[in-house]
Structure 1
Amino acid sequence: MATIIKQKSITIKCSNPSTNVESITCMALESSAKQFSVNMIWIYSNTANLSKDDFMPSDQLQTTLSNTLNYFPILAGRATEDTKGNVIIHLTNEGVLYTEAECPNHTLDYFIPQTLLEEGFDYEHINTSDLAVKVKNDCTGPCMSIQVTRLKCNSVILSISAFHCLTDAHSMSHFINAWASGKPSQSMPMFDKTFILYPTEQQRQQINSLTRPKNCVFNRNAISLSNEPFVQVQQQRVISKVYFFSVNELNNIKKEVSKDISTSVDYISTYDALYAHMILVIAAATQTSLTDNIKVLQSLNGRSSFISCCSPAVLNYFGSFPFWLYAEIPSDREPTLSSLAQLIHEMYSKQTEHSLREYNAYLMSGDGDINKNRADTDIINRDFYCSSWRKGNLLDANFGNSGFPIYSGLTDLLYPRYFAMMDTRARDGSVNIVLGMREQDYERMIQQNMLHKYQ
């Protein structure tokens, strides 16, 4: 077991804060994700065998962090809620939480065996080690918390925890790359949220009467949901691993999908094909019937949808886009790899800036109480959810002598039907999937030998 010795946490503030102490109100969609946090790690290998004082030195990390916060002041602020449950961020410059830690009894290979990076590896030591100081899930205290853990070999595991109403993986990547560069951000973050709002008064007057849009995971009329999708305590041991899919294997999966795909589909992406494959693998392992009104969920980064009607600056929007879409697998027939890939593809390809604005507006319809929004799904026992963190530059954060991270992903993962899809350090289109499964389901998956059937 890893021994993690933590120093007393400090707060890092903007080095040159603005005198304009204003506030920013999160969009309805962001406020609806306020009970969740985003928890990520970046792992840096000390390949040059530098000393602890020379490899990613603490004073340099703190100085550059303070300077970077000048461009991301929202992270150094504090949150409150209004009477409708909307999260308001006050730019008070009270700082982000920063913690230095040390693991004196283990080297990097304990957490991530470098000889297995192209084969996959066990996530248990990452899951069970105290590698983060997480932010609270009630929007109190610091909006962001950073822990820098120095290992016996002087390699570094850097973790960031932040309110999900403020950041998603896209925003997190924007921030850490700016911090790592040690320079003013080349892509200035945009905080203006008006692009997501209805542009005309006539549209705004219709908000109160909006009904739930198609594909919208959130439901304002759910009286009582038996399961919270992300916070239910696991009753069994969960085995978490990173599974590696090579470019050749991914191409084979896509070829298999294309054998029976509808001519109406313009293309099938790696995401579509691999997600469909993983649904079949997990369903078989968990003995889940896919004809029982099962929901397939995904996250949509919709920033690019607004370029044509707003400006390219929207790509640098710093906030959270937790557009959780869903579609139900048709219950009248057994799904195939091709039909699932097509379902996944059509779900997000039909989304435009109009549908995304309607989605956000629905979440503040009726009496406007954000607290009524519930994610109407169960990814513990029934449904499937894949979040793609690919093509987001998460492996580009080079802190000078650190080199690029050898891995970036979730700080921990214990959910049996939620998995993340991520780029690998090979940067060749190969994919890492981190997945947690109940022990008996994991053993069944290994026996069925379906995971890498297209190698």
Structure 2
Amino acid sequence: MANTPLTSFIVKRHAPELISSATPTPRELKLLSDIDDQEGLRYLNPLVQFYRMNPKMGKRNPASVIREALAKLLVFYYPLAGRIKEGPGRKLMVDCTNEGALYVEAEAHVTLEQFGKTIRPPFPCIENLFCDVPGSGGIVGSPLVQIQVTCLLCGGFIVALKINHTMCDGEGAQQFLMALGEMAQGALVPSVLPVWKRELLYARNSPHVTFPHLEYDDVLDNGHNHVIAIEEMSLKSFFFGRAEMLALRRLVSGNLKTCTTFEMLTACLWRCRTIALQPNPEEDMHLLFFANARLKFNPPIPVGYYGNCIVLPCVTSRAGDLCNKPLNHAVELIMKAKSCVTEEYVRSTAHLMVMKERPLFKTTSSTFIVSNLARARFNKVNYGWGEPIFAGFPKDDEVTPGVFSSYIPTLNDNGESGILVLIGLPIPAMKKFVKELNIMLK
């Protein structure tokens, strides 16, 4: 059984439940910030965690433990038990109704072993692991947190959840889940208390855009910038450990050798992706990356703030330059874009959202968007059974497939720590991408 690749499995779901806070919470209307409610964040952000059986937990049901912990945690994170409403000008706010988070308990007749020696995406039948409740997929009026806990034959289990991105960025979601793990292990109060304070990221009364925001500029339709159908895509994960990082660093020269792992890896992937797509050499290629700006503020954004405090700086290069110039070219562009992320850059973004009525950031095939979870602690969330053997984004984006990529901390078959990168590309382009990446790693 273990040697047979898992291609499909059936999940038996129990009736869905709405989990409200364990004690009464304030009924109030809370405005989201102008960073929160932008168009590009109006979706449910998925995350999946795989856990092994732990004999010390005896016959305790992980689904029951997490359900009880969620009710206790929503006392502190009570806005997440409410519902999003849309006001004048499509301004988003949360109505703290305590209607509850969506929760589903399920069983699957498979074992963790059947997912492979090393668990990594893409996963078969991934849609079976997430809540599938009619009417729950929207942003307005739908549950803000949706969790399915699927128990497996081996005693392991899978936690698959979706969190409304307008309510939490990656750090906010991580904070919520770490607290959920603490409550599951018996804590009465989260070690980091949640902070709302969305007014810190409101646009000022007289909004003024002080930076160029290429990430929100329209992309001209040149016949190639189209969204690729999901059925035409190939999704693969690539592991970058110490050997791979050393190989890439040898391609960087001069003062740029001090670049970060993120800068070097992103430059490499952007270059390989562009070569694989074979655009016109004169076409502009765009790289966007989510940057956490909490520590850029003076005074800093308070510890415990779980709203969106992210921006998407944009890097642009001619395709010909990206493909033919040394890796230094892309690294230098990325470093320059990172240096622009300041408190004023975040405020300029908020002002742009108000002045241009929340434009959508670039999402065409000429754009590569990176979400870096390499330092996130989703792989440290412990519900009592120990840390997960995998935690991260499970699949490619269904709305704009082939555009988003995520970096996930993980272990390879030999137990070496590194970064797992999830890449989606059209099937012919994926073959070219793998070939080019192998050349760079040699």
The offset of 1:15, in angstroms, is 0.9
Distance 1:59 1:128 in 2: 22
Q: Structure 1 residues 452, 408: CA separation in 2 closer, same or farther (over 3 Å shift)?
A: farther
Q: Structure 1 residues 98, 205: CA separation in 2 closer, same or farther (over 3 Å shift)?
A: closer
Q: Structure 1 residues 437, 376: CA separation in 2 closer, same or farther (over 3 Å shift)?
A: closer
**Which residue of the partner structure matches residue 296 of structure 1?**
287
**Which residue of the partner structure matches residue 358 of structure 1?**
348
Q: Structure 1 residues 139, 411: CA separation in 2 closer, same or farther (over 3 Å shift)?
A: farther
- 2:193 is aligned with what amino acid? M
Say yes or no: does 1:247 pair with 2:230: no
Q: Tell me how large the CA RMSD over aligned residues is.
A: 2.9
Distance 1:293 1:255 in 2: 27
Q: Structure 1 residues 8, 195: CA separation in 2 closer, same or farther (over 3 Å shift)?
A: same
Distance 1:73 1:332 in 2: 51
Confirm or deny: 8 A CA contact 1:99 1:146 kept in the other structure.
yes
Q: Structure 1 residues 338, 181: CA separation in 2 closer, same or farther (over 3 Å shift)?
A: same
Q: Structure 1 residues 453, 110: CA separation in 2 closer, same or farther (over 3 Å shift)?
A: farther
Confirm or deny: 8 A CA contact 1:253 1:454 kept in the other structure.
yes
**Which residue of the partner structure matches residue 28 of structure 1?**
34
- 2:130 is aligned with what amino acid? L
What secondary structure does 2:89 align onto? coil
Q: 2:388 aligns with which of 405, 411, 432?
A: 405
Q: Structure 1 residues 166, 225: CA separation in 2 closer, same or farther (over 3 Å shift)?
A: farther
The within-5 A match list for 1:19-168 is 20-32=26-38, 33-46=40-53, 48=55, 53-54=59-60, 56=62, 58-104=63-109, 106-111=110-115, 113=116, 115-116=117-118, 121=120, 123-125=122-124, 127=126, 129-133=128-132, 135-168=136-169
- 2:158 is aligned with what amino acid? I
Distance 2:222 2:46 in 1: 25
Q: Structure 1 residues 322, 37: CA separation in 2 closer, same or farther (over 3 Å shift)?
A: farther
**Which residue of the partner structure matches residue 12 of structure 1?**
19
Say yes or no: does 1:310 pair with 2:312: no
**Which residue of the partner structure matches residue 4 of structure 2?**
none
The offset of 1:340, in angstroms, is 0.7
Superposed CA offset, 1:171-224 (max 9, x none): 1111111011112111111110232246xxxxx3531xx3583245235xx599
Distance 1:359 1:393 in 2: 27
The offset of 1:85, in angstroms, is 0.7
Distance 1:225 1:164 in 2: 28
Q: Structure 1 residues 223, 268: CA separation in 2 closer, same or farther (over 3 Å shift)?
A: closer
Superposed CA offset, 1:385-435 (max 9, x none): 1110121211111111x1100111113225223210111148976111112
Say yes or no: does 1:341 pair with 2:331: yes
Unaligned runs of 5+ in 1: 199-203
Distance 2:157 2:319 in 1: 48
Confirm or deny: 8 A CA contact 1:294 1:382 kept in the other structure.
yes
Distance 2:182 2:411 in 1: 19
Unaligned runs of 5+ in 2: 1-7
- 1:353 is aligned with what amino acid? E
**Which residue of the partner structure matches residue 377 of structure 2?**
393
How many residues are aligned here?
420
Give the structure-2-normalised TM-score: 0.86
Confirm or deny: 8 A CA contact 1:38 1:161 kept in the other structure.
yes
Distance 1:194 1:336 in 2: 44
- 1:110 is aligned with what amino acid? Q
Confirm or deny: 8 A CA contact 1:191 1:318 kept in the other structure.
yes
Confirm or deny: 8 A CA contact 2:20 2:101 kept in the other structure.
yes
Confirm or deny: 8 A CA contact 1:216 1:359 kept in the other structure.
no
**Which residue of the partner structure matches residue 201 of structure 1?**
none
The offset of 1:310, in angstroms, is 2.3
Superposed CA offset, 1:227-272 (max 9, x none): 9x99x56164322222111123213312322x1x5x4x69311011
Q: 2:265 aligns with which of 263, 274, 284?
A: 274
The offset of 1:21, in angstroms, is 1.5
Q: Structure 1 residues 13, 451: CA separation in 2 closer, same or farther (over 3 Å shift)?
A: farther
- 2:84 is aligned with what amino acid? A
**Which residue of the partner structure matches residue 436 of structure 1?**
424
Distance 2:138 2:310 in 1: 16
- 1:28 is aligned with what amino acid? D
Distance 1:129 1:438 in 2: 24
- Taking only the aligned residue pairs, the percentage that are identical comes to 17
Distance 2:433 2:84 in 1: 43
- 1:303 is aligned with what amino acid? R
Distance 2:114 2:439 in 1: 25
Distance 1:251 1:45 in 2: 32
**Which residue of the partner structure matches residue 172 of structure 2?**
171
Distance 1:431 1:29 in 2: 28
What secondary structure does 2:407 align onto? strand
Distance 2:169 2:132 in 1: 18
- 1:213 is aligned with what amino acid? F
